[in-house]
Amino acid sequence: MNDVLNRIRGGLVVSCQAYPGEPMLDPRTMAQVAQAAVAGGAVAIRAKGLDDLRAMRPVLDVPLIGLVKVGAEGVYITPTLADARAVADTGCEIVALDGTRRPRPDGLSLAETVAGLKQSHPGVLVMADCGSAADAETAQRAGVDVLGTTLAGYTGERPKTDGPDWECVRAVLALADRPVFVEGRVHAPAQAAEAIRLGAWTVVVGTAITHPATLTGWFATAVAEAAL
């Protein structure tokens, strides 16, 4: 457990995820994207979907943070204990799940979910994707191993900021007695570096590295505006 976290500390985690309807939504493609990220210096990979995770595990020699997404609103990131166990079965060292205070689809509390996963998969670490400092405080009491700021701005509790929600990041860091992974709208190297300077264990970057459609859109918009 400590070895996994020590391998990640102070490094960059890259989130490699494609979405329904996108050409890159293919396990082989996403495994290659993950390999490219590792070649560039990623110390771990975060990915979604059982097929993608199964494709990545044999070709990656860095820790894998796994999740599934069920639906697109409410509690949808690894929402149930059964989902968490299925993710752990793929060989991920860390299972990421919704770490908010909202009701879970299977009726279990976050603490019950964490306990159930650790009972069936005692070597797996649990990352709580939180939307606020209050979420992080509750998740910490529930026994998770890692706190993430992943959902800040996406649960309705906090406004969605342009870049990282630094106010939330600072508040989580102030209360945490375990590793904090800063994640969520980290779109520039300077922002990633700032997260580490503030005391984050690691920083997770996805869109700005592995989502070509969004990256192309940023450039296309800037060019179109300049041409007006």
Of 117, 144, 112, 118, the residue nearest 130 (C-alpha)? 144
Q: Is the pLDDT of residue 1 over 80?
A: no
* Each residue's pLDDT tens digit, 10-64: 999 999 999 999 999 999 999 999 999 999 999 999 999 999 999 999 999 999 9
Tokens of residue 160, six digits? 């969605």
Q: Which residues contact 170 (CB under 8 A, 6 or more apart)?
A: 198
Q: Which residues contact 122 (CB under 8 A, 6 or more apart)?
A: none
Percent of the chain scored above 70 by pLDDT?
Answer: 100
Residues 155, 196: Cα–Cα separation, whole Å: 25
* Each residue's pLDDT tens digit, 117-164: 999 999 999 999 999 999 999 999 999 999 999 999 999 999 999 999
